[in-house]
Structures are given as structure tokens and as C-alpha cells.
A and B are shown apart, each in its own frame.
Chain A
């Protein structure tokens, strides 16, 4: 790792005024930005720095800022501090009981060792895992180069939807669940202002800008993720498929949040696919196939098929489609408490 200076911010304002650029900006080869970047758990930052992809001049430590590492709940919903670790998120009674899909997604991310250090804010802002992106030898479009190497290359872990010029899948596992819960993110700037934006709008696809995954602005500090209150009776399910049973990245994952009316019909539903697109991918056709229906095996099956309608698999990743459809079917049946019958 190259050498850098270190500064521990004591307040959000100090961090925001010290932060000179986003990590995405600092990684662009053509950058003339002052490469002063923020660090939470430091897992993704160290990964990028060890690979020589990111060479910061100064690292601003966010971990000593008090008050950003708690999960609290009131009538307006739940507030998860940006420095809450994935381990806290997996174990906390609020996430376990009210936002089960989120707690399960956190528990299924990375290794226990990483979960004890990695933070929610850093997880949402980590850079993609595309192997060309992570290889210093490949100057791809996302790093400011000309080409995407994935379309003609090894693309078994790449996107099946929304790959407009770049086929990454969004790296954050918890983001699948958070989008399904309609989460918002809270961001503070150096002027003392804050804005909140829906996570679904904050995470941007390559059609918006191929060189960044989020709408984070230079100097902004993510302070919290905000979740709406969940009415009693809302059920949420997260399911993940990886190549190995032990710690591994998703090859496909799904979050379903389901609310039924008194007559048992599906009233409100979110179906979101992970590891499927450059952003967590809302399966609108699956949501439409469920809304207003009584859920049984046939309806759940139709939702699974609807979820993959319109997919554009690449040369080596069509195998993801039946997995995504199966995960959607199982998640819907589990959320609706319907036992799966073998067809």
C-alpha cells in the first residue's frame, strides 16, 4: 500500500469539510482531484488500495465520530446509523423482528470477521466486484477507459438486466433488502445541510454515469439509513444463492416484502433482485403479478417467471435466470406462509 496521511474526524462537519472527493473520483485515471477520501470500516478502501487502484493522499477516519453507530426506532420509522456494522444489523432485535429480510441479508454477507468491521454506509458505497474493474491491468469504462471487457469476456457473475455499457452487479447484499423496504439515505454536507434521498434513486446505473454507482457528492457524509415503519403483519424474506454454502458472494439474491389485506389478498409488495443488475433491480412485473391476488403455488410461480421476463443474459450468465425465478417463488411462498408443493 502507498503511504498516506491520516486524520480522525470528531464530527460529521469536520469529515465533510475535510473530504475533497468521492472514491470514484479519486480512482479516475484522469483525476486532478485532491485525493482525500473517507474511511468507515475500511474494508473496501484497503482492498482498493492494496490493489493499487486507489492511491489516497489522506484518509479521513469516520469511525471516531460519536452517535453514528446506533439503531433506533420511533413512530416515524427506524434510523440505522451509517457506522452500524453488518454484525450489529444481523443481530439487533429491531432489524431481526421488523426488517427480517435486512437482518438475514446482513448475516449472509461476507465473513464473521468482515461483518464485525464493515459498516452499513461503507457497504452501500463500496465499489463493484467485477474482476476487470478490480484488476489494475484492465482500464475499463468504469475507471474512465474506453471499453467494457465483460461483454466479450468472462461474464458469469455479471448482470442480466440493465447492463447499458457496463455489466456490473451491485455489490451490496443488504441493498437488495433495503430497496425492498423503500429505505432512504441521509447525507450531510460541509455547509451543515442534510438531504435524504430514496436509496433506489441514490444508486445509479451505467445509463446515468458509468464511472460511479451512487449519487454521492464530494464531501458528503452518509449519516443514516432510514426505514419506514412496518405495519403489523408485513412479512419480509431474503434468500441468497451462492456457489458455496460458506461465506461467498451472491450469484443471485432476492428480497420480498409482502403486506396482505384482511381478506388475505396481496395489498402491497416489493420484489427486488440482487446480483442481477448494476443496481438492486425492482422486479415490477413480479410485483404486478402478485398485487391483488391470493397467493398460492401457481401465483408464486407466475411471479417468479415474471421476475425474469425481459432479462438479457450475457454469454455465460443465463444460468442465473432459473435461480432468480426459483428464489422469487420460494421467497413469495415463505412470506405468504404457503408451503411449497413439489410440482
Chain B
């Protein structure tokens, strides 16, 4: 599989899961796995539309069945909608992962990066499978890696266990994954 086709399938999986849960079986398209029905848009509080599905990379033995997602809320603001002075949204990202196997001397570290990886923020090790952080980017990737415990660096050293894309990552349609396919997907961490 090429990087692009993997990303496409990720996009589709995400798209399907983000769509109204009642109608995930679009004609001519097969979606398998838990993510097809991972979330349901309902008229209850909660920004389901922007939820980030964390997808296992299967690069780590025994990690194929882990589940995770990031819930995206506006950061507290007197204006309701939280914005930075440059016009980026300010979000509270709440990540929750289940099914991770404990590994001695290691910890699962959460990162938030720009799509081109020129900006990488180390958020920190998950605590009981959870971690929250402020994100001040419109378009970003969420990456979970396995690192040596207690070691901090500004770029991950260990394998990527899961990764996800903010909903805005779908906004590369017309020039990206239409007939032109010019997006540098490998740089996004999808290989």
C-alpha cells in the first residue's frame, strides 16, 4: 500500500465514523473495524464532529487492538469561541486511550504536531491512559509514541503507537486527494 492509499483509507474511516452513526453503510463502500461506529452525532452536548480518532499503527507488537480518541473542546474564553491573537482556535484536547500494555522502563508519550511536522510539542506521558492539553493550532496531528521512561526530548525517539488527525485534516480535498494527489502524506507520519 502506498502512503497515499493508507491516508485515504484513514480519511474514509474517519469520515465514516464522524458521520451520523445511523447511516455508515454507504453504497459501494466497505468499512471494517471498530472505528466505523466509533462515535455518533447526536443532539447532546459534546463536539462529536471534531473528535479525533486515534488509529493504531501496529508497529508495536500487541498494540493492534488499542482504542483511543481525542475530544476537542473550545478553551475557556469570555467570547465562547476561543481564539489566539493570530486567529487560531484555542482548544482543550482531552485524549483517552485504552488497551495499552504496560512495558517496563517505558512510557506512552503524547505529542501534538503541525501537519508538516515543523512544529512538534511534547505534551507528556499518559496517566491512566489519559492526558489533556491546550492546542492553539487549526490543523494538527496527535501522535502517541513509546519512549524510555523519564527521558524528555523535543522529538520522539520510540515507535509511533497511535496517530490521529484533527478534523481540519480533511480539508485537503480539492488539490490533495482528488485527481491531483499532491499532498506529502509521508511527512504527516503515515507510512
A and B found bound together? no
Residues of A within 8 A of B (CB): none
